[in-house]
Structure 1
Amino acid sequence: MSNINIIIEERPADIGHFLVGRLLPFREKRMVGPFIFIDHMGPAKLSDHENIDIGPHPHIGLSTLTYLFDGAILHKDTLDTEVEITPGQVNWMTAGKGIVHSERTPLHLRHSDKTLHGLQIWVALPKELEEMAPTFFHAAADEIPAWETDGVSYKLIAGAAFGRQSPVPVYSPLFLLEIKSPTTQTIRLGDDLFGEAGLYILEGSIESEGFTYDPKRILVAKNSQLCEFVINANSTVYVFGGEPFPEGRHIYWNFVSTSLDRIEQAKQDWRNQNFPILAGETDVIPLPPDPPYLKPKP
């Protein structure tokens, strides 16, 4: 990949249930296009008495995208959504002015050994849509555009690229593309991408300009013209990005906004139980102590 500007390696982060690999935000690069948060979950092995139980918690100002490679998660939210996500499917929840959801091991897996592996991604909303009504969308695996070129498999998980459009209802110009290759190949992405672009190496490696890059890192390009790189055999990478927003974003806990005052209001609303209530669930996650805000870079 030409024009590599920043290399971001996974940093361990404790989400209260197991360690994840935190990729975004990064001190030198808060966002790539509208992508503001990326966690690599697992691969985690859970025994018959270990389960994921992330209780009710709120979001504002963003869309969440959950994409699994292995395992399953039961999603419930205050729109009365209850859906199990399995590998290859896409959960796309838009918080807008406010939503509450939980994420748990499904009942049929709670008493057996299991694994969990996937990506948890947040995409910031355009300023004019930060207070939109919350929505939820679930795409089955066979609804995601997939094709093969020269033995290389492609999936367009979200957004638009290469004349194709994912069914996921995004709110700004972006792309999230999966590339898998069983053999060593030269990938030429051409000039169909736009805005900012990053490449996440999940497994295997890529080669560019005489350097080899191993898994669990993001390569951020100076521009969206990724041109070409060599993907080595049995590798999987994700190319993502899009048009950046003219305004910076603040992020605190699960809240994203162009306004610090709006984040303060969301904090107060969660303390005062002014968010919608997720029926039947009582293990509500409390507001954490205030860390320094992750302020947008000037």
Structure 2
Amino acid sequence: MSNIKLIIEERPANIGNFMVGRLLPFREKRMVGPFAFIDHMGPAAMKDHQNLDVPPHPHIGLSTLTFLFEGEITHKDSLGSDVVIKPGQVNWMTSGSGIVHSERTPDYLRHTDKMLHGLQIWVALPKNLEQMDPSFFHADEAEIPSWTENDVNFKLMAGEAFGRKSPVPVYSPLYFLELKSTNRQKINIGNNLFGESALYILEGAIESDGHLYEPKLILIANDARLCEFTMHENTTIYIFGGDAFPEERFIYWNFVASDRVLIENAKTKWLEQTFKPVPGETDFVPLPNQNAPKH
């Protein structure tokens, strides 16, 4: 019997001047553990006159995780953080009660041809920490636990798994793993995962229970064991999940909360522009049409 409960295909979504592939939320599966939102950015070839420019916008009730495969993004936020995110690094911003940030092509790349490719992820905060103070953490690639087993390279970008722990400060039990194979290889996750679990195929293919699965798919497992599957050669997958929360999470625009009142308060605050601003930035993303469909 297959351990795959649901297959989610990437859907195109517009985030301003940039198209992405939306993976979560999905109508039949809003979250996987605490993971509430995943966008696959690119791969996008950008000419010398094309740049990523996402003006300041707010978040509440979550941590954002940005992980790039190619390209660079300048992250600035209302805490005063000003960091260029490069491939292999983990950019982890926790909004808590509220934070504002912008994402742009770095100045030194704005007049050159460039690529941009990566994942942007939202991880909901547990109810008792939804209103915590905002914080920011940035990990270089060398700080991320990595190891090799049977020609498969593992990286643990966030959380705990396989007896290892990422330095990224997560606020509930979770994991976000990268597996890269050079040769065809059978994988048995065993009891190394917990909670709800899903697998995203970036490139290559995997086989499970006689079925072939190719890129741009998320496979939702019946349980965290994920059973056994075969990675084809030159395949990259991401496994993510963790303990689900007992309460539902509501999502409106960039706001995630267990109580709609928190979202309404954040909407009012953004309309009135009373969030702490990003130093040196004056433009902003307006609140979407109140009648617009929610995520």
TM-score, structure 2 normalization? 0.98
Deviation digits for residues 238-279 of structure 1 (CA, Å, limit 9, x no counterpart):
000000000010000000000111101100000001100112
Letter of the 2:136 counterpart:
F
Kindly provide the amino acid, as one letter, of the partner of residue 6 in structure 2. Answer: I
1:75 alignment counterpart: 75
The equivalent of 2:54 in structure 1 is: 54
Shift of 1:192: 1.4
Decide whether the 8 Å contact of 1:2 with 1:226 is kept in 2.
no
Aligned to 1:289: 289
Deviation, structure 1 residue 282: 1.8
1:65-144 to 2 correspondences below 5 Å: 65-144=65-144
- Count of aligned residue pairs for this structure pair: 294
Percentage of identical aligned residues: 65
| 1:200–1:217 CA contact under 8 A, matched in 2 | yes
**Distance of 2:64 and 2:277 partners within structure 1:** 19
Return 5+ residue gaps in structure 1 as ranges: none
Structure 2 residue 234 is matched with structure 1 residue 234 = yes
Give me the whole-angstrom Cα distance separating, in 1, the residues matched to 2:165 and 2:238.
16
Residue 215 of structure 1 is matched in structure 2 by 215
Task: Give the equivalent residue in structure 1 for 2:189.
Answer: 189
Displacement after TM superposition at 1:61 (Å): 0.2
Following superposition of structure 1 onto structure 2, how do residues 152-191 of structure 1 map, counting pairs within 5 Å?
Answer: 152-191=152-191
5+ long unaligned stretches in structure 2: none
Task: Please say if residues 38 and 119 of structure 1, whose CA atoms lie closer than 8 Å, have aligned partners that are also in contact.
Answer: yes
User: What's the offset of the Cα at 1:155?
Assistant: 0.2
Q: Residue 273 of structure 1 aligns with which residue?
A: 273
Distance 2:260 2:194 in 1: 29
Q: Contact 2:3/2:227 (CA < 8 Å) preserved in 1?
A: no
Kindly indicate whether the alpha-carbon contact (under 8 Å) linking 2:130 and 2:257 is maintained by their aligned counterparts in 1: yes
Superposed CA offset, 1:43-95 (max 9, x none):
00100011111000000000000000000000000111000000000000000
Q: Is the 8 A contact 1:92 1:137 kept in 2?
A: yes
The change in CA–CA distance for 1:219 and 1:147 in structure 2 (over 3 A counts) is same
In structure 2, what is the equivalent of residue 249 of structure 1?
249
Deviation at 1:281, TM superposition (A): 1.1
CA distance in 1, matches of 2:174, 2:279: 34
Tell me the CA shift for residue 104 of structure 1: 0.4
One-letter amino acid of the counterpart of residue 54, structure 2? I
Give the conservation status (yes or no) of the 8 Å contact 2:201–2:214: yes
Report the Cα offset of residue 196 of structure 1. 0.2
Q: CA deviation at 1:293?
A: 4.0
Runs ≥4 residues deviating over 6 A: none
CA offset digits 1:149-203 (Å, max 9, x no partner): 1111000010000100000000000000100001100001001100000000000
